[in-house]
Structure 1
Amino acid sequence: MPLSLAHVAAAPAQSSQVFILAHGTTALPSPAAGDLPAEARAYVEKALADEQKLIHLNHFSHHHYYVVLTNKPTPERVAEALRRSGHSLHAQLKAEKVAELYIHNLSGRGDAGLLLAEGLALTAYQFEGYKTDEKSRKAPTLTQVALVGDAATAESIKELDGIIKGVTLARDLVNAPLNKLNATQLAERMATAGDEAGYSTDILDLAKIEALRMGGLLAVNLGSPEPPTFSILEYKPDNATNARPYILVGKGVVFDTGGLSLKPTPASMDMMKCDMAGAAAVAGTLYALAKNQVPLHVIGLVPATDNRPGGLAYVPGDVLTMHSGLTVEVLNTDAEGRLILADALSFAKKYDPELVIDLATLTGAAVRALGTEASAVMGTADEQTMAALDAAGHRVHERLVSFPLWDEYADHIKSDIADIKNLGKGEAGHISAGKFLERFTEGYPWIHLDIAGPAFLTAPESYRGKGGTGMGVRLLYEFLTSVLGA
């Protein structure tokens, strides 16, 4: 059962509650003290004096928790500490089998209740999976989090719920294995989500992809026994404020063996169901925007296939003719993501977009440069747009590090027999991949996000959890909605 977020005027008596307090609080304000016995109040105030950040009172029939804001140098870092407090609090709620929690915000920071609830909700995510043993299927105990009074408005809670559902969709898609989510099933899942949220989906099949001459997508698919898909997700409300659409492009490689340039296993291949995390982020973002009825026209483009070495698989040395008409010499079949993205980026030109952003688990070079803590960003959009995206990343703690696309990097992808090649040098692999994509973005401003590090975690990390993180959904939602207030 997914966690329910709600707004209530007051918390019921004998209910489990959490009080968010300002940094430096040493004496409990009256709403937080309630009818606490003198001994309990003294216990909490001593813990506050000792600068404890999460304090627990067990009343046996119910529980009180106190979360204290941290002293951080920026509001964004205070916000992230609150999300992480939500994660820590969730562990205590789980241990005490708390089913309902009521949040009071006494901190003086208006969004503190929402941030704590966000951390709780993201932590509460569980991939339902495919277990059949009832003993191993543990239903979550915490089912409802309610914000009390002026801790948040009903509208802001509803918006947060829509965002969390978008992240959940993205995580579910990334965590599904290939035999449960091939290219066709991915397209169908995104279409079903669109029906629920309010965006439309047009799924192009093999015949239409061939008619469009998407040589990159078709080549990567050659080794697969299953057909590719190209999905067009469109959210266009009647009150959209932008005359030209924002376009999100997501890499949809539902499993990547590396093709004939086979990945070593298990070190590199066993987690490759996550290679469609860019596609999942696009679907999750469209879901959140549509669910919350954000007045923006946004289009998602998702080229999808698996990459296998079977059948008539493309080989190193092949030359492909792409949707744009450019020719590409293939030097490594494991550099496949840029090939399918290139066709989608070329296709995007038909919409005369305001801005195009692509997301992809594209290179190991980005992971080696940044780990799982940030994504690499580069592009041709103006400095103001890049700065706005970077600021959005800090606000939601999906941070970005900018890399250049200097002209010299074009030398890394020069080919002797084609317009370009799909592999650069051993150095700066994430930049040469971006430089490759740039060749297909003529006519519009563009941003590339290499999310290979933070999109999938092999060990639990705070509220991001383990497995698919939904990276990109909160970032893009925050960025796109900030456009409305610009």
Structure 2
Amino acid sequence: MDIKVVKFNEYKEAAEIKAILMFEAKEDFHMKFEDEAINNAISFVQENKEFSGKKGEIYTVNLLRKEAPSKIVLVGAGKGEELTVETLRKNVGKLVKECIKLKAATLEINVPALRKHFDMELAAKAIGEAVTMATYNFDTYKSDKKPVNLKTVTLLCCSQCDVTVLEEAIKEGIALGEGNLIARDLVNEPANILTPAELAKRAEVAGKKYGFEVKVYNKDEIISLGMEAYMAVGKGSANEPKLIVMKHLGNQENPEDIFGLVGKGLTFDTGGYCIKPGQSMANMKTDMGGAAAVIGAMSSIAKMDLKKNVVAVVAACENMISGEAYRPGDIIGSMAGKTIEVLNTDAEGRLTLVDAVTYIIRNEKATKVVDIATLTGAVVTALGSAAMGVVTNDDNFYNSLEAASKEVEEKVWKLPSFDEYKEQIKGDVADLKNIGGPKGGSITAGLFIGEFVENKPWLHLDIAGTCASEKPPTEYHSSGATGSGARLLYTLVKNQ
């Protein structure tokens, strides 16, 4: 997708579809076009009250001619003072999907009216995100594919705008959108295709494309690292685990400041001997949503060459049933040296994560850590699909996350971490037990991971409710994987 910026008075071409962003108040729209057919169409629609400019409203007018533009699309921006970045993303997402439906190859978006109410740099970034994300369609395995014809989008701005600044903003928006789509693609892949080895291969491909380092450790190397908890989960599968380590070292002046990202990478989860019901198991291909998020975030971070040192780790494996699989009642070790009593083999993600957290702190010297995982059904019960549940040991770090969440409109909610919850995971026959009972499950799961963070500033993000959706959660999403967390992690890293 080619997205470019041109000043309105310098634009000499014409796209198939001209989109015009309009507010409810007519006085907020002063633009007149040289093409009288467009002016007449806008006047007619407004006078007949077929389009009012309300937020989210969209209206397509066929100009009944062959020359471009052959159609105009009016996009409602609502009341100027109420316009937000997210509203703009949604408007553009709806616009792009309309253009795809109309099979247009070129689109121009007229936004001079925005300047009165909105920061144009933020607008350009949001448009870059929305255009990139709204074109997505996972049809890899369909024989009857519906290609997206839309190839070029031109953003027409006012003469006072700095085109160079807006181009850089669009570039960042595209980078964020691409990171989101990488995550969506990975989560949407079926587990018979996306094995741990294939996930590692996809990370290597992304690393080569976007410019970050990738090292993959095999089974023997994982064992030599002492990652006993991780190996306990992965040893039941014929597909061997792969430890994926990704690096973007963008701040050579401060090499000791390292931001650690850890993503849960269960490419399939049967629940082990505590087997899941069949209805619950069908979507367990999504149990690597955390891994997808960090791979997507690393792609965006590297593409924008952020001046940050970031290391990401994914302990990829499958939780399967076999003669080699771990059992309820087993006592296992961990890379940190702590022992764990396994009370439920379906509480497996936290076992892989604690070894990945220990690795990133001890071997990669991370100074702050975020883990992200489709960890618990309990978080869905608590928060539904609207927000990620967060457990943390550092309120300032959480405040940074909350600020980032508002930028990308990926909602977060901090869960309590009182000592009473920590008591629930203390072991009777080992240092810890891997579940804390039926109450406060998302909290105790997060706090279990927190036992391994070695006093580093830490955030745990449970995305079990936000990773995938049967219906598109916004106008720039599709059904299936949402890419939850990829844009959020990029923004959090950037703002630190």
TM-score, normalised via structure 2 length:
0.90
> 2:277 & 2:488 partners in 1: Cα distance?
32
- Structure 1 residue 121 and structure 2 residue 132: aligned? yes
Q: Which residue of 2 aligns with 1:112?
A: 123
> 2:41 & 2:283 partners in 1: Cα distance?
49
Q: Which residue of 2 aligns with 1:446?
A: 458
Matched position secondary structure for 1:153 = helix
Q: CA deviation at 1:31?
A: 4.7
> 2:407 & 2:447 partners in 1: Cα distance?
28
Structure 1 pair 12/178, CA: closer, same or farther in 2 (3 Å)? same
> 1:343 & 1:27 partners in 2: Cα distance?
56
Q: Which residue of 2 aligns with 1:66?
A: 74
Q: Identity across aligned pairs (percent)?
A: 34
Q: Which residue of 1 aligns with 2:26?
A: 25
Cα contact 2:17–2:99 (8 A) shared by 1? no
Cα contact 1:412–1:425 (8 A) shared by 2? yes
Q: Which residue of 1 aligns with 2:495?
A: 482
> 1:49 & 1:184 partners in 2: Cα distance?
53
- Structure 1 residue 54 and structure 2 residue 58: aligned? yes
Pick one of 329, 332, 335 that aligns with 2:347.
Answer: 335
Q: Which residue of 1 aligns with 2:480?
A: 467
- Structure 1 residue 209 and structure 2 residue 215: aligned? no
Matched position secondary structure for 2:471 = strand
Q: CA deviation at 1:242?
A: 6.4
Pick one of 68, 82, 86 that aligns with 2:88.
Answer: 82
Q: Which residue of 2 aligns with 1:228?
A: 241
Which residue type is aligned with residue 154 of structure 1? E
Can you list the C-alpha shifts for 1:110-156, whole angstroms capped at 9, x where unaligned? 2334424432321211124223x3xx111112222222244872211
Q: Which residue of 1 aligns with 2:141?
A: 130
Can you list the C-alpha shifts for 1:92-122, whole angstroms capped at 9, x where unaligned? 2123221111122121212334424432321
Pick one of 361, 365, 368 that aligns with 1:355.
Answer: 368
> 1:287 & 1:404 partners in 2: Cα distance?
32
- Structure 1 residue 429 and structure 2 residue 423: aligned? no
Which residue type is aligned with residue 463 of structure 2? I
Matched position secondary structure for 2:192 = helix
Cα contact 1:23–1:70 (8 A) shared by 2? yes
Pick one of 4, 27, 36 that aligns with 1:6.
Answer: 4
Where do 5+ consecutive residues of structure 2 fail to align? none
Which residue type is aligned with residue 488 of structure 2? L
Cα contact 1:44–1:55 (8 A) shared by 2? no
Q: Which residue of 2 aligns with 1:146?
A: 154
> 2:344 & 2:38 partners in 1: Cα distance?
70
Cα contact 1:349–1:443 (8 A) shared by 2? no
Which residue type is aligned with residue 153 of structure 1? L
Moved more, 369-378 or 147-156: 147-156
> 1:310 & 1:174 partners in 2: Cα distance?
25
> 1:128 & 1:194 partners in 2: Cα distance?
24
Cα contact 1:90–1:123 (8 A) shared by 2? yes
> 1:21 & 1:278 partners in 2: Cα distance?
38
Which residue type is aligned with residue 107 of structure 1? L
> 2:12 & 2:187 partners in 1: Cα distance?
37
Which residue type is aligned with residue 66 of structure 1? L
Structure 1 pair 318/96, CA: closer, same or farther in 2 (3 Å)? same
> 2:250 & 2:453 partners in 1: Cα distance?
26
- Structure 1 residue 93 and structure 2 residue 99: aligned? yes
Structure 1 pair 72/384, CA: closer, same or farther in 2 (3 Å)? farther
Count of residue pairs the alignment pairs up: 474
> 1:31 & 1:195 partners in 2: Cα distance?
47
Matches within 5 A, 1:360-439: 360-381=373-394, 383-439=395-451
Which residue type is aligned with residue 352 of structure 2? I
Which residue type is aligned with residue 186 of structure 2? L
Matched position secondary structure for 1:194 = helix
Cα contact 2:389–2:413 (8 A) shared by 1? yes
Structure 1 pair 156/50, CA: closer, same or farther in 2 (3 Å)? closer
Moved more, 343-352 or 228-237: 343-352
Can you list the C-alpha shifts for 1:273-329, whole angstroms capped at 9, x where unaligned? 000010011111010010111111100010010100112110000001011000000
> 1:391 & 1:464 partners in 2: Cα distance?
22
Which residue type is aligned with residue 312 of structure 1? E
Q: CA deviation at 1:193?
A: 0.7
Q: CA deviation at 1:211?
A: 0.6
> 2:492 & 2:458 partners in 1: Cα distance?
14
Q: Which residue of 2 aligns with 1:41?
A: 42
> 1:427 & 1:397 partners in 2: Cα distance?
29
Which residue type is aligned with residue 234 of structure 1? K
Structure 1 pair 15/272, CA: closer, same or farther in 2 (3 Å)? same
Structure 1 pair 11/156, CA: closer, same or farther in 2 (3 Å)? farther
Q: Which residue of 1 aligns with 2:358?
A: 346
Q: CA deviation at 1:38?
A: 5.7
- Structure 1 residue 326 and structure 2 residue 338: aligned? yes
Pick one of 256, 279, 298 that aligns with 1:286.
Answer: 298
Q: CA deviation at 1:81?
A: 1.8
Moved more, 291-300 or 81-90: 81-90
> 1:91 & 1:286 partners in 2: Cα distance?
27
- Structure 1 residue 190 and structure 2 residue 203: aligned? yes
> 1:393 & 1:258 partners in 2: Cα distance?
31
TM-score, normalised via structure 1 length:
0.92
Q: CA deviation at 1:168?
A: 1.4
Where do 5+ consecutive residues of structure 1 fail to align? none
Can you list the C-alpha shifts for 1:161-214, whole angstroms capped at 9, x where unaligned? 222211111111111111111111111110111011110011111111101111
- Structure 1 residue 248 and structure 2 residue 248: aligned? no
